C-alpha cells in the first residue's frame, strides 16, 4: 500500500463491530466480561477501541508494528524516558524542544537520569559523549527554531555499535515526509498536537516501535503510568491523518515560495529552511526525507523590527505551537526560548530578531503579500 492510501485505509479503517466507515468514539471506561477474565477489552486505560484504531493507524504509517497514544507529546516523551532507570545516561540533541529539555533537566534529573546535550548534526559530538552508562540517543531533525539536520541513519549505526536505543522526535517532518524507523531508529515519537492533528484543536502524543519486546515495555508503562489519550481526541487524530498528505503537500508548496520570497527580501538578513540551496543540512535531509516541511525561521535586524512585523501581519496568527492549517508566527527569543539566558541563546544562533513561522494552507499570494507589507511598513 502506498503512503497516501495508507492514510485512508491503514490501521483499522472500518469499525469491526458495526462496519461504520468513521471509527466510532467509544466513550467508555469499562466493559462487560462474559465470565471472569473473558473479555476483549477490560478497562480503557489498558485498551479502548477508538484509541486502538489510532494506534494501529500510526504504527502503519510510521512503518512500525505497534503504536501508542498519549495525552500530549510530553506524556509520550515521559513514557519513553520511563524505559530507563536511575543511573542511566542519555545523549540528546542540544536544541531539542524546550519542554523536552525541561522534563529531562528538571524532572528526570531527580530520578538520577543523566543527560548530555550535544549538537547531533556533528556525529563526532555523539561518539565523544558516550559513557559506560549511556543507554540512548535522543534526536530531533529538523530542530526548532534553526532547522538543523541530523543524519538519522548514521546516528543509528553509532547506536547499534554501542547497543544504545535511538529515539527520534519526528514532529516536524511528520510520517508523510520522514520515517525514522526505516532509517534505523528504535522509537519514533510525535507531538500529534502539531501536524498530525493539524487543526489547533487537540493536544496529543504518539509513539511507534517495531520491536515486540520494546512494544511490551511501552504498553506496560502506558498502562502503569496512565498518560493515555481519550477516545474523542483519538478520533480527532484519526480524522487529521486522513488529510495529512494533502495538507503537507499544500503547506510545502506555500513554504517553498515564502522561503524564496524571504531570501530575496532586503529587510531579511538570514533564512533558515532545509529546502534552500544554502542550508547546510540540505543534502542529508534530502537523503532521509521526501519533503522539507512547513517551518521557516528568518532574521530581521533586531527585536523591534521583529515585533513590528508580528504587529502588522494579518494572516499569521501570533501563537505558540505549529503545524496547523492556519499560519502561525512567533519570536523564539521572547516566547519558546525566553528561558534561555541571552548569551547562551545567541551562541545557539537564536538572534533577537529571529522570527519563526509555521506555514498553513492559506492562499500563497495572500501569505506573501502579508509578509511583504509587514516587512516594508
Ligand atoms: C510541541 C512539541 C513537543 C511537545 O508536545 P505537546 O503535545 O505540546 O506536549 C515535543 N516535541 C516537539 C518537536 C514539539 O514541537
Domain boundaries, the chain: 3-242, 245-376
Q: Read out DSSP for 329-372?
A: EE-TTTTTTTTS-HHHHHHHT--TTEEEEE--SS-HHHHHHHHH
Measuring CA to CA, which residue among 107, 132, 98, 283 is closest to residue 117?
98
Annotated catalytic residue, options 60, 95, 151, 169 = 169
Cβ of residue 328 lying under 6 Å from some atom of ligand 1: no
Q: Pocket of ligand 1, candidates 69, 71, 73: which has the most ligand atoms within 8 Å of its Cβ, to mutate?
A: 73
Q: What global pTM score does this model have? A: 0.97
- Clarify whether 45 is annotated catalytic: yes
Determine the distance separating the centroid of ligand 1 and the alpha carbon of 35, expressed in angstroms.
Answer: 42
CB 76 within 8 A of CB 68: yes
Q: Which CATH architecture has domain 245-376?
A: Alpha-Beta Complex (3.90)
Cβ of residue 171 lying under 6 Å from some atom of ligand 1: yes
Helix (H, G, I), strand (E, B) or coil at 62: coil
pLDDT tens digit at each of 377 positions of the chain: 899 999 999 988 788 889 999 999 999 999 999 999 999 999 999 999 999 999 999 999 999 999 999 999 999 999 999 999 999 999 999 989 989 999 999 999 999 999 999 999 999 999 999 999 999 999 999 999 999 999 999 999 999 999 999 999 999 999 999 999 999 999 999 999 999 999 999 999 999 999 999 999 999 999 999 999 999 999 999 999 999 999 999 999 999 999 999 999 999 999 999 999 999 999 999 999 999 999 999 999 999 999 999 999 999 999 989 999 999 999 999 998 887 889 988 988 999 999 999 999 999 999 999 999 999 99
Class in CATH terms, 3-242: alpha beta
Amino acid at each position: 500500500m502506498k503512503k497516501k492510501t495508507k492514510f485512508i485505509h491503514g490501521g483499522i479503517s472500518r469499525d469491526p463491530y458495526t462496519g461504520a466507515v468513521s471509527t466510532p468514539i467509544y466513550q467508555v471506561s469499562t466493559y462487560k466480561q462474559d465470565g471472569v477474565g473473558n473479555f476483549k477489552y477490560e478497562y480503557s486505560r489498558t485498551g479502548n477501541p477508538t484509541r486502538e484504531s489510532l494506534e494501529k493507524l500510526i504504527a502503519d504509517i510510521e512503518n512500525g508494528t505497534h503504536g501508542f497514544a498519549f495525552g500530549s507529546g510530553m506524556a509520550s516523551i515521559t513514557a519513553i524516558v520511563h524505559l530507563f532507570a536511575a543511573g542511566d545516561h542519555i545523549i540528546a540533541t542540544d536544541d531539542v524542544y524546550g519542554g523536552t529539555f525541561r522534563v529531562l533537566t528538571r524532572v528526570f534529573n531527580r530520578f538520577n537520569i543523566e543527560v548530555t546535550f550535544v549538537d547531533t548534526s556533528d556525529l563526532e559530538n555523539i561518539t565523544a559523549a558516550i559513557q559506560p552508562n549511556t543507554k540512548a540517543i535522543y534526536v530531533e531533525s529538523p530542530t526548532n527554531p534553526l532547522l538543523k539536520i541530523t543524519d538519522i541513519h548514521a546516528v543509528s549505526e553509532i547506536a547499534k555499535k554501542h547497543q544504545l536505543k535511538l529515539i527520534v522526535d519526528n514532529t516536524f517532518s511528520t510520517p508523510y515526509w520522514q520515517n525514522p524507523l526505516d532509517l534505523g531508529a528504535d522509537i519514533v515519537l510525535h507531538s500529534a498536537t502539531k501536524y498530525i492533528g493539524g487543526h489547533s484543536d487537540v493536544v496529543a502524543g504518539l509513539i511507534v516501535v517495531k520491536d515486540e519486546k520494546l512494544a511490551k515495555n511501552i504498553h506496560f508503562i502506558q498502562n502503569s503510568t496512565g498518560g493515555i489519550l481519550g477516545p474523542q481526541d483519538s478520533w480527532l487524530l484519526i480524522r487529521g491523518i486522513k488529510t495529512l498528505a494533502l495538507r503537507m503537500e499544500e503547506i510545502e508548496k506555500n513554504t517553498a515560495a515564502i522561503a524564496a520570497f524571504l531570501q530575496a527580501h532586503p529587510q531579511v538578513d538570514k533564512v533558515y529552511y532545509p529546502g534552500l540551496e544554502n542550508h547546510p543540512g540540505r543534502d542529508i535531509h534530502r537523503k532521509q526525507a521526501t519533503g522539507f516541511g512547513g517551518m521557516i525561521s528568518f532574521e530581521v535586524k533586531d527585536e523591534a523590527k521583529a515585533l513590528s512585523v508580528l504587529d502588522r501581519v494579518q494572516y499569521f496568527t501570533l501563537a505558540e505551537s505549529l503545524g496547523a492549517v492556519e499560519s502561525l508566527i512567533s519570536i523564539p527569543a521572547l516566547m519558546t526560548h525566553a528561558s534561555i539566558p541571552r548569551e547562551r541563546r545567541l551562541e545557539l544562533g537564536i538572534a533577537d530578531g529571529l522570527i519563526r513561522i509555521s506555514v498553513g494552507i492559506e492562499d500563497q499570494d495572500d501569505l506573501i503579500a502579508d509578509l511583504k507589507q509587514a516587512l516594508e511598513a
